[in-house]
Amino acid sequence: MSTETLAPEGRSLHYKWIALSNTTIGILMATINGSILLIALPDIFRGIKLNPLAPGNTTYFLWILMGFLLVTSVLVVSLGRVGDIFGRVRMYTLGFAIFTLFSVLLAVTWMTGPAAAMWIIVMRVGQGVGGAFLFANSNAIITDAFPVNERGFALGINGVAAIGGSFLGLILGGVLAPLEWRLVFLVSVPFGLFGTVWAHLRLRDNGRRHKARIDWTGNVTFAVGLIAVLTGIVYGLQPYGGHTMGWSSPLVLSCLFGGLAILVAFVVVELHTTDPMFHLDLFKSRSFTMGNLAGLMLALARGGLQFILIIWLQGVWLPMHGYSFSRTPLWAGIYMVPLTVGFFLSGPLAGRLADRHGPRPFATLGLVLAGLSLIGLTELPMDFSYPVFAFLILMVGFSMGLFAAPNTSAVMNSLPLNQRGAGSGMLNTFQNSAAVLSMGFFFTVITFGLSARLPQALLKGLTGQGVPLAAAQAASHVPPIGSLFAAFLGINPIKEMISPSVLASPGVHSTVLLGRGFFPGLIAGPFGHGLRMAFILAALVCFLGAVFSWMRGAGQSQVFHTMGEDIEEGIAGAGEIAMGEIGVGSPGALLEPGDWTSADQDQPGEQLTR
């Protein structure tokens, strides 16, 4: 027998750190890639010679930006369930390989114009499939590898990688894209190759597989319904007819209501299927349900937040402080660093504290602090003092990190062994779908604010600089969402609103119009009005999430405790135990789904009986 010391369920005492480091690399890679385009898009569109603000091209802009997130939202539950059936490590490793392959295909884009944009969209969808495999199985692999009293810390590290990666991508995008836009995709390839090989060689399945048929009906209805809803949100951001946004479009309404109807059908199907894609009975657990709802609320507040903060920096604050529009994407990423630092400071700490004292107080406090920080942002003037802004976004990051690890560990501890993949996938689906919904929410609120005030401000400002009344009136009726996209892409919107012939006309002060301060000065008031409304609503969502978090119950929320995990707790610190012959036949694996006793525990360590 091997002399290597093993923990219960056949786990090496060193294996848990291998599992954590590999999954952290995978999640960090996927989340960096998910956000790196927020800063790199201007260089990508210049590289493929496509004007994203030209009529008909806005669709390319939105799908390149949001396609990855949409695909991962749709697939994580299904692929988590597939991992439960066929092995989480096998599916996770496959995800690494798929993600790396499509990163290479993105980096070798050779076309230009709309063809290149379509290629990037399709390849990003492929990356999203790989990312979904990673997201769906990483939390389950960590939960399988770590004992109960260390999971909060481990999931905290992984959660910091997931959330922090989304902000590190901003900096990498700003640094790499100006050098060569293909580098924003190529940077993932070395990590993907290394992670794929390492996962294949060193990771192993410690979870209990549950033989079952794939629920094709459930998978299809869930995917179609969610795709329809999220697609409706994406197209709702675009102007329709004479409206500034597309929420009244028949296509959008059909997608939203049709998708919701199909999701209702999904619930009906799952309740009458022998081997469902997702066991809806898990929602009978108060810890699982409230943890998912709390995570949903934070994702609603967070998903569009970084988008709007970037627009605030790029479209208003940085130009006001002397930065050219072409330089604003890089500096926006740099000035957002405190947000990332906040996550890094609180994530692992919160996980460790949750392991010792239970997740509820820390997760709830995180949501309350997030709401208060967002309210603090509403008090800033548009031309703010950066140290105050940096402190507030540091607190936003810190509070969200304070929530992430305790909530994730509580949700994962509430799942039985054979449902961890699907349960982790459902948690990710709530969060990723809410991120897409959040973008629609933030943009809608801000666009309504702009619609009420921007046209008059543009008309007055343009005519004041000599622009003929007819040209000024035409420019003032440009959809506000176009102005936001232009600011986000580091483009001076005046170049898009006023034709070169008008700018060259006698009496038109073109130098002022095209200067750094003219458009930011015009948009600051209308944008600030909508921005404050969005921050207030996001804060209210966080406070609602805090209520859900508190309702999860006290203690460590370990709803589904296997016999094997109870043994782990009993022998912790009792010395080295050689259990080399114990694998999936460990005590925890002896229980069948019908043997679980589900109760929301208020005291840590309470055991289930068979």
pLDDT digits (tens, 9 = 90+) for 34-55: 778 877 888 898 899 988 777 6
3-state secondary structure string, 519-567? HHHHHHHHHHHHHHHHHHHHHHHHHHHHHHHHCCCCCCCCCCCCHHHHH
Determine the Cα–Cα distance for residues 196 and 25; give it in Å rounded to an integer.
10
pLDDT digits (tens, 9 = 90+) for 329-341: 778 888 988 988 8
| Beta-bridge partners for 11 | 7
Q: Which residues contact 544 (CB under 8 A, 6 or more apart)?
A: 297
- Residue 189: per-residue pLDDT: 94
Determine the Cα–Cα distance for residues 164 and 96; give it in Å rounded to an integer.
19
Mean pLDDT of 353-363: 88
Tokens 């997201």 appear where? 135
The angle subtended at Cα 364 by Cα 562 and Cα 401, nearest 5°, is 85
- Residue 361: per-residue pLDDT: 92
- Residue 374: per-residue pLDDT: 95
Question: Who has greater pLDDT, 291 or 434?
Answer: 291
Least confident of 193-207, 362-376, 475-489, 526-540: 475-489
- Residue 139: per-residue pLDDT: 83
Determine the Cα–Cα distance for residues 355 and 277; give it in Å rounded to an integer.
30
Look over the chain and give the mean of its residue pLDDT values, rounded to a whole number: 81
Determine the Cα–Cα distance for residues 135 and 501; give it in Å rounded to an integer.
52
- pLDDT at residue 145 is higher than 50: yes
Q: How many Å from the N-terminal Cα to the C-terminal Cα in the chain?
A: 32
Q: Is 179 exposed, middle or buried (0-12, 13-18, 19+ CB in 10 A)?
A: exposed
- pLDDT at residue 534 is higher than 50: yes
The answer as to CATH 2.40.37.10 being correct for domain 12-214+277-449+525-550 is no
- pLDDT at residue 384 is higher than 90: yes
Domain ranges of the chain: 12-214+277-449+525-550, 215-276, 450-524
Which H or E run contains 122? helix 113-145
Contact (CB, 8 A) for 64 and 235: no
- Residue 474: per-residue pLDDT: 86
- DSSP-H helix ranges across 272-416: 286-302, 305-311, 318-320, 328-335, 337-357, 360-378, 386-413
pLDDT digits (tens, 9 = 90+) for 390-425: 999 999 999 988 998 888 888 888 888 777 777 777
Phi, psi of 6 (to 5 degrees): -120, 150
pLDDT digits (tens, 9 = 90+) for 433-491: 887 888 888 888 888 778 878 888 888 999 999 999 998 988 887 777 777 777 777 77
